[in-house]
Amino acid sequence: MLSDNAPLLSLNGLSACIGRQTVLEDVGFTLSNGQCLAVVGGSGAGKSTLLRLILGLRKPAVPVAGHLCFDGHDYALSKASSGKPMGIAYVPQSPAHGFDPLRRLRWQWQQLQRLLGKHAAGGEVLDALGLPVLAKAFPHEWSRGMQQRLLVAMALLEQPKMLILDEPTSALDPLIAAQVLTEVQRVAQECDIAVMMVTHDLALAAQFADQIAILHQGHMVQTGPAQQVLTAPSCDYAAELVAHRYWQQENPESLAAE
């Protein structure tokens, strides 16, 4: 059994490459039960790759070095390793690929319920995310934002030990984005779920995350408590990112003027 203060997940020295290109170098962080970590960074920084490696997926990138400890189990990460940590739910970046196009959404939702042995559960999560009743719709009949919210709902239904969300609000308007993350936060606190999410929105990160990790070109340039990262960025890139956010916040009229 884990003691209360041992982290749920700790990652050390993860390096990974796609072909000959190194996409992650010496990445590491720790995450405790019930905590929320926001990963921010530019497009192509390697955020999605990092998430998929933690899930034990070896596409597109293959780990070359590193050590993962999740829920008391150790996983050495290398070209030959093959262990997959159990009990992590994942919301992929692209909602369009998250559903079988041939199956009705209700079927896919019910199949998940069957797999989890939770028949008829999860209705309140759908409500809280503002989703309509899962009628006979096929995935393509729902908007991207609705698909994305349903993926989040499915991940929450699993009540995993850890939730990995890849830009879960990329297709949502700011109000619904906040609503979704509030629900995620509620379930996470209720069930003591650790959350790791990628986001491009520092305001959301500031609001919901306990910790922020900044990824820049495959390096984790800063990681720490959210307030500390936002107020005392430790490197040029982090400073630039944070400054940009405050510029937007303090000068709303300059945006409107354009």
Ligand X SMILES: Nc1ncnc2c1ncn2[C@@H]1O[C@H](COP(=O)(O)OP(=O)(O)OP(=O)(O)O)[C@@H](O)[C@H]1O
Does 99 help bind another protein (rule: CB under 8 A)?
A: yes
Q: How far apart are CA 250 and CA 141, in angstroms?
A: 39
Sign (positive or negative) of CA dihedral 170, 176, 182, 183: negative
* Residue linked to tokens 């006979």: 136
Q: Which amino acid is at 10?
A: S
Judged by CB under 6 A, the stretch of 26-34, 39-47, 119-127, 229-237 that binds ligand X is 39-47
Is residue 178 packed enough to be buried (19+ CB in 10 Å), middle (13-18) or exposed (0-12)?
middle
Helix (H, G, I), strand (E, B) or coil at 247: helix
- Among 14, 15, 46, 216, which residue interacts with ligand X (rule: CB under 6 A)? 46
Helix locations, the chain, DSSP H: 47-54, 105-116, 123-128, 144-157, 174-191, 202-208, 226-231, 236-250, 252-257
- Among 15, 33, 48, 169, which residue interacts with Mg ion (rule: CB under 5 A)? 48
Judged by CB under 8 A, the stretch of 41-49, 82-90, 177-185, 232-240 that binds another protein is 82-90
Does 93 help bind Mg ion (rule: CB under 5 A)?
A: yes
Does 58 help bind another protein (rule: CB under 8 A)?
A: no
Residues that bind ligand X (CB under 6 A): 18, 23, 41, 43-49, 60, 93
Residues that bind another protein (CB under 8 A): 55, 57, 59, 84, 88-90, 92, 94, 97-104, 107-108, 111-112, 115-116, 136, 138, 154, 158
Residues that bind Mg ion (CB under 5 A): 48, 93
